[in-house]
Amino acid sequence: MVITVTLNPAIDKTLEAPDLEVGMHARARLLAIVPAGKGVNVARGLARLGAAAIACGFVGRSEEAAYGTSLEADGVACALCPVDGVTRTNTTILDPVRRTTTHLREQGFTVNVDDVARLRARVTEAVLRYRGEPCGATVAFSGSLPPGLGLAEWVALLRATAEAEGITVVDTSGEALRAAVDSGVVNTVKPNLLELGQCLGEEVRLPDAPSRAAELLDRVETVLLTLSSHGAYAVRRGLCVGMACRIDPAQVRNTVGCGDAFLAGWLYGRGRSGDVRDALRWAVAAGAASARTDTAVGYTRQEVERLLPRCEPI
């Protein structure tokens, strides 16, 4: 079982605006409005691939019903904690003429100590429910921290998950990522090149990235290093596996959510076979499939499977 945790969710709104010019009027076509957030996207992706997932995290009270209905329709169990405030809207504008993608990200609601305590109890309860099963539960924390959630509370949430014997996976950035790595209780982190540099405290050159990722292995078991069109690496002690899925750049529609699709593919692949190479192949295929769609979780299992043969070691 995979439990995803989205601390700072967002309603994803995707528009298409050909020949967009900043400061000018533009006609836009609405492509989608979807209750989302990085962990929610991972849960939806797992369901697309045929795996079970539970979506935990925060949500504004007025959006709770919409999230529940939408997740249920996708076959994802909803265990979100409602809080005061409105769930933010993140807007993506696709320009098919200039081949650009513009992201407008709002600030989320503010959570308080009681909200964090309720979520910690809900996540712990979900983990304990699967503790007696052979593989237990994996808990994937994805996205930024909302206002009101400090680093101490963030680390306490990770520690509570680990103490309940959940396998923790973290996909975040900046101080939150550094704190997660330094906590010593996280199993897997998924940085990109910039985020790896944030962990190490210095800029990392692309050719050095896989070897530099290994410097985190004194605190985490696995580093999933994503390098966009340059592929991705799974780095563990004594093992560094690279994989890329080459697609025509002209087929790339929207890169928002590719990292979430990658993580869903990784979690699915690990649960499917336990083999690192197989899991990485599913991960890069899912990320590539997502890039070819207009919305963050617009891909299907069939589209991912069609890309699996195009995944090659690097």
DSSP-derived secondary structure letter, 146:
P
Q: Rounded mean pLDDT of 208-215?
A: 98
* Cα distances (angstroms) measured from residue 299 to each of 45, 191, 287, 305, 307: 8, 23, 9, 11, 11
Percent of the chain whose pLDDT exceeds 70: 100
pLDDT-based confidence at residue 106 (cuts at 50, 70, 90): very high
All structural domains of the chain with their residue ranges: 2-223, 227-314
Q: DSSP assignment of 217-234, as one string?
A: TTT-SEEEEE-GGG-EEE
Please tell me the predicted confidence (pLDDT) of residue 314: 94
Distance, CA of 86 to chain centre: 22
Are the beta carbons of 157 and 123 closer than 8 angstroms? yes
Please tell me the predicted confidence (pLDDT) of residue 283: 98
Distance, CA of 97 to chain centre: 28
Buried/exposed 188-214: b ≥16 CB within 10 Å, e otherwise: bbbbbbebbbbbbeeebeeeebbebbb
Task: Enumerate the β-bridge partners of residue 32.
Answer: 14
Please tell me the predicted confidence (pLDDT) of residue 23: 92
288 vs 114: CA distance, rounded Å: 40
Task: Assign 3-class secondary structure to 175-204.
Answer: HHHHHHHHHCCCCEECCEHHHHHHHHCCCC
pLDDT-based confidence at residue 250 (cuts at 50, 70, 90): confident
| 296 pLDDT above the threshold of 90 | no
Please tell me the predicted confidence (pLDDT) of residue 253: 87
- The burial class, CB within 10 Å (0-12 / 13-18 / 19+), for 13 is middle
Mean pLDDT (the chain) is 95
* Residue (of 225, 226, 297) closest to 261 by Cα position: 297
Angle (CA) 174 179 180, round 5°? 100
Looking up tokens 């993140």 gives 90
Q: Rounded mean pLDDT of 256-275?
A: 94
Percent of the chain whose pLDDT exceeds 90: 90
The DSSP H or E segment spanning 65 is helix 64-73
- Tell me, what amino acid is at 19? D
Instruction: Tell me the pLDDT tens digit for each residue of 44-98.
Output: 999 999 999 999 999 999 999 999 999 999 999 999 999 999 999 999 999 999 9
Strand order in the sheet with 138-142: 77-83, 53-60, 2-6, 138-142, 167-171, 188-189, 222-226, 232-236, 239-245, 311-313
Please tell me the predicted confidence (pLDDT) of residue 63: 97
CATH of 2-223, picked from 3.40.50.2300, 3.40.1190.20, 3.30.920.30, 3.40.190.10, is 3.40.1190.20
Backbone phi and psi for residue 254, each to the nearest 5 degrees, phi listed first: -155, 120
| 294 pLDDT above the threshold of 90 | no
Q: The pTM is what? A: 0.95
Backbone phi and psi for residue 88, each to the nearest 5 degrees, phi listed first: -65, 160
Please tell me the predicted confidence (pLDDT) of residue 256: 84
Please tell me the predicted confidence (pLDDT) of residue 109: 96
Instruction: Tell me the pLDDT tens digit for each residue of 109-146.
Output: 999 999 999 999 999 999 999 987 878 899 999 999 99
Please tell me the predicted confidence (pLDDT) of residue 68: 97
120 vs 130: CA distance, rounded Å: 16
Instruction: Tell me the pLDDT tens digit for each residue of 168-211.
Output: 999 999 999 999 999 999 999 999 999 999 999 999 999 999 99
